[in-house]
Chain A
Amino acid sequence: NAGVTQTPKFQVLKTGQSMTLQCAQDMNHEYMSWYRQDPGMGLRLIHYSVGAGITDQGEVPNGYNVSRSTTEDFPLRLLSAAPSQTSVYFCASSYIRTGGNYGYTFGSGTRLTVV
Chain B
Amino acid sequence: GNSVTQMEGPVTLSEEAFLTINCTYTATGYPSLFWYVQYPGEGLQLLLKATKADDKGSNKGFEATYRKETTSFHLEKGSVQVSDSAVYFCALSDILTGGGNKLTFGTGTQLKVEL
The secondary-structure label for the interface of chain B is loop
Stretch from B14-22, B73-81, B89-97 that touches the partner: B89-97
Using CB atoms and an 8 Å cutoff, list the residues of chain A in contact with chain B: 4, 30-31, 33, 40-45, 48, 50, 54, 56, 58, 90, 92, 94, 96, 100-101, 104, 106-109
Of all chain B residues, the one with the shortest Cβ separation from A45 is B102
The secondary-structure label for the interface of chain A is strand
Interface assignment of B107: CB less than 8 Å from any CB of chain A: yes
B93-111 to A contact mask, C-beta < 8 Å, 1/0 = 1001111111101111000
Q: Which residues of B contact A101 (CB under 8 A)?
A: 93, 100-101
Given contacts A42-B106, A43-B105, A100-B93, contact A54 B45 (CB under 8 A): no
Inter-subunit contact B97/A56 (CB<8 Å):
yes
Inter-subunit contact B44/A106 (CB<8 Å):
yes
Of all chain A residues, the one with the shortest Cβ separation from B103 is A104
Of all chain A residues, the one with the shortest Cβ separation from B8 is A40
CA–CA, A32 and B84, complex, Å: 29
Q: Which residues of B contact A109 (CB under 8 A)?
A: 42-43
Q: Closest 4 interchain pairs by CB? A: A106-B43, A42-B105, A42-B107, A106-B44
Of all chain A residues, the one with the shortest Cβ separation from B42 is A108
Interface assignment of B46: CB less than 8 Å from any CB of chain A: yes
Interface assignment of B58: CB less than 8 Å from any CB of chain A: no
Given contacts A90-B44, A101-B93, A104-B46, contact A96 B107 (CB under 8 A): no
CA–CA, A100 and B94, complex, Å: 9
CA–CA, A33 and B105, complex, Å: 14
